[in-house]
Amino acid sequence: MRTLFDRVWDAHVVRELADGVSLLYVDLHLVHEVTSPQAFAGLKREQRTVRRPELTLATVDHNVPTGDRSLPIADAIAARQVDALGSNAREFGIELFDLDSPGQGIVHVIGPELGATQPGMVIVCGDSHTSTHGAFGAFALGIGTSEVEHVLATQCIVMKKPRNLEARIRGSLEPGVGAKDLILALIGKIGTAGATGHVIEYTGEAIQALSMEERMTVCNMSIEAGARAGMIAPDEVTFAYLEGRPRAPSGAAWAKAVECWQTFRSDPTAHYDAQVRLDAATVGPQVTWGTTPGMVADITARVPDPAQLASENEREAVTRALEYMGLKPGTPLAGIPIDRVFLGSCTNARIEDLRAAANIVRGRHVSARVRAMVVPGSQRVKAQAEQEGLDSVFREAGFEWRNAGCSMCLGMNADVLGAGERCAATSNRNFEGRQGRGGRTHLMSPVMAAAAAIEGRLVDVRGW
């Protein structure tokens, strides 16, 4: 009796090494400009080659500007890193979606969009949000630069098998509540280290009812619960999403692929090392109030009071977080005034996210106190949105409409918060300084962020 993860793992073991450590084959290696230059430099130093360049895909996303792309990159150091990926890709024969490519975008948005991400694969990338691809029933994990170099050279990773954790989500979500709220609520429940050492398999009717893009939002934030990866068993929703995509199998190969993909599921009696359950019907719109994604509450709640917490550790952590966030215990979350809105990131910048947010802002205008931006997850998402007229909806409402990239999710480019600025963000991390030194981040869903932009404060979107 095996789990989905057991099956994918077993299918990729090249050889079991000592002490439960295995050499695992990698089907798809995604590469971006920030965590790869030192890996390519290592290959060159040792005169090694890339074993399977055709299983490797590169793009620039982390430090690229999202403004006018006809101008050169103003940051000379960032420009050199982008150039380095270009020359490394050429030298080693790796396909690159460069800054001027219509296929450029956040690495975790373009893999699925191309149909390169497929069920049953092992996928790695030098980025923790690689867990996104698990939505397709792939084992997809973030790795460090030394491992990036190892995969380039050998097409394998060396690792000890993580344990299985089942997150069973029953019931159905209320209107106004979505995948982002579900995963934030789960992280709030199990904590930011709740799944350390485990691969989470999300099961239950609430998960099966999600679209592929919503499933990606859920799996994306698995790392925020400490998990090595997140996975969802592929089904008809998965196959329908993939059919016809450029890198997906076609013709006779399609039927054969689907037949194979259908085997990637957990047996009904499979053993999980840990289990957690959540009723989707009990989840309201979530907003983070602190400096980890686990410091989260329903929008109807109040900022917690550290004095009422049980352990000294918790009291210290919450006190510190509230001081950084500039929040007083007992303040209702709804009503907290904001300065910025960021609609973007590998968590929530796909077409469905933009459509949902556009529906909130259509015919309305961003509050005078707020600067709001939309950063589509990829240039293809941007083009699709423009075809649907969503860019006009956002622009007319007072949003900036930008080019694709990681942007203000991590603030490596010019898109940053100023010290003390408070931001409603659809991204995945609210760490101190994540969006800019001294910046204060509240994570939430695209519809919640859109409503906050209009009101100039955190607001319960269910009242809209």
* Binding-site ranges for other proteins (CB under 8 A): 14-15, 17-19, 21, 23, 25, 34-35, 37-38, 41, 46, 48, 51, 62-63, 75, 77-78, 80-81, 84, 126-128, 141-147, 149-150, 153-156, 158-160, 162, 192-193, 196-197, 223, 226, 228, 292, 294, 313, 316-317, 320, 410-412, 429, 431-434, 437
- Looking at the Cβ atoms of 205 and 323, the one nearer to other proteins is 323
Q: How far is the CB of 78 from other proteins (least distance, A)?
A: 5
Closer by beta carbon to other proteins, 153 or else 309: 153
The length of the chain, given as a count of residues:
464
Q: Are 405 and 413 in contact (CB under 8 A)?
A: yes
- Measured from the CB atom, the residue of 171 and 197 that comes closer to other proteins is 197
Residue 148 · residue 41 · CB < 8 Å: no
From the CB of 128, what's the least distance to other proteins, in Å?
Answer: 4
**Beta carbon of residue 223, minimum distance to other proteins (angstroms, whole number):** 8
- HSE at residue 444, side-chain half, CA atoms within 13 A, is 35
SS3 313: helix
Shortest separation between residue 130's beta carbon and other proteins, angstroms: 8
Q: Give Cβ neighbours of residue 113 (< 8 Å, ≥ 6 apart).
A: 105, 245, 378, 380, 381
Phi-psi region of 460 (alpha: psi -120 to 50; beta: other; left: phi over 0): beta
Count how many Cα atoms sit within 13 Å of the Cα of residue 305 in the half-sphere of its side chain.
5
Closer Cβ to other proteins, 412 or 453, answer by number: 412
- Pair of tokens at residue 214: 């919503």
DSSP symbols for 71-112 = SPPS-HHHHHHHHHHHHHHHHHT-EEE-TT-TT-B-HHHHHH
User: Is 420 strand, coil or helix?
Assistant: coil
Nearer to other proteins, 92 or 394 (CB): 92
Phi, psi angles (nearest 5°) of residue 2: -125, 155
- At its nearest, how many Å lie between other proteins and the CB of residue 185? 19
Q: What is the DSSP string of 354-418?
A: HHHHHHHHTT----TT-EEEE--SBHHHHHHHHHTTHHHHHHHTTEEE--SSSGGGTT-SS--PP
Q: Which is nearer to other proteins, 354 or 406 (CB)?
A: 406
Under 8 Å between Cβ of 370 and 456: yes
Q: How far is the CB of 207 from other proteins (least distance, A)?
A: 23
Q: Which is nearer to other proteins, 285 or 411 (CB)?
A: 411
Please report how close the Cβ of residue 34 comes to other proteins at its closest, in angstroms: 5
Closest to 192 measured CA to CA, from 57, 321, 281, 99? 321
From the CB of residue 311, how many other CB atoms can be counted at a distance below 10 Å? Answer: 8
Shortest approach of other proteins to residue 450 CB, angstroms?
26
Return the number of the residue (79 or 209) whose C-beta is nearest other proteins: 79
Neighbouring C-beta atoms of residue 25, cutoff 10 Å: 19
> Tokens 């919450």 — which residue?
318
Q: In what order do the strands lie in the sheet with 13-16?
A: 13-16, 21-25, 156-160
Give whichever of 17 and 255 is closer to other proteins, judged by the CB atom.
17
Q: Which is nearer to other proteins, 388 or 421 (CB)?
A: 421
Q: What are phi and psi of 97, to 5 degrees?
A: -95, 95
Joined tokens for residue 86 = 């270009």
How near is the Cβ of 196 to other proteins at its closest, in Å? 6
The DSSP call for residue 9 is H
In the complex with other proteins, which residue's Cβ is closer, 37 or 284?
A: 37
Of 346, 400, 343, 409, nearest to 378 by C-alpha is 346
Nearer to other proteins, 117 or 367 (CB): 117
**How many CA atoms lie within 13 Å of 376's alpha carbon, on the beta-carbon side?**
26
